[in-house]
Amino acid sequence: METLPVTQSPPDPEPGPDGVRVRLPRLRVERRAMLWWVLRALLQWGLLLAALVVARSLWEPARVWLLAPAIAVAAIVAVKLAVEPWWRYHVHRWEITEQATYAASGWLVREWRVAPTSRIQTVDAVRGPLEQLLGLSTLRVTTASSSGAITVQGLDRRIAEEAATRLAAVAELVEGDAT
């Protein structure tokens, strides 16, 4: 059984005032997350493309003016199926240390977030229908930040649950007002 990958000693950079070392996280999400991103793209954009093709086929007056949107959506579907999952897998990273939770995500707009453990307010492991089907989960760490929660998508279900449990326990032990 795989254990929760938690780093005990952060590497090189000097810690800041909260004891947090500013650096990129080390751990990748699950490879199955790529399939999850493909299925989401098919459900969102693939259904739109199918609707455009059906409308273009069945509705004679719409044939001319639905061609350009259908081509545009087909191009988006191709990119979302061939490029996005691969790119996201290489960008998405996460890590939990005693001092902070780190997450890097995105594909067009890349985001890097760090939340000091003392600022954690809630920790959730969330599983949508497709994630349940693939044995994946999303870890959501809510802090007092105005930027919202840190989310790490594409984690193995057991790893996300262990991380949520561990973060909740560590957050209780760390002094701070979480505001």
Three-state DSSP class for residue 100? strand
pLDDT by residue (tens digit) across 75-119? 999 999 999 999 999 999 999 988 889 999 988 898 999 888 888
- State the Cα–Cα distance between residues 150 and 144, nearest whole angstrom: 11
Read off the pTM: 0.76
Give the per-residue pLDDT at 37: 94
- Beta pairing partners, 113: 103
Q: What is the CATH number of domain 94-173?
A: 2.30.29.30
- Given a cut of 70, whether residue 147 has pLDDT beyond it is yes
Q: What confidence tier does 151 reach under pLDDT thresholds 50, 70, 90?
A: very high
Instruction: Give alpha helix (H) positions in the chain.
Output: 32-41, 47-58, 67-82, 84-91, 129-134, 157-173
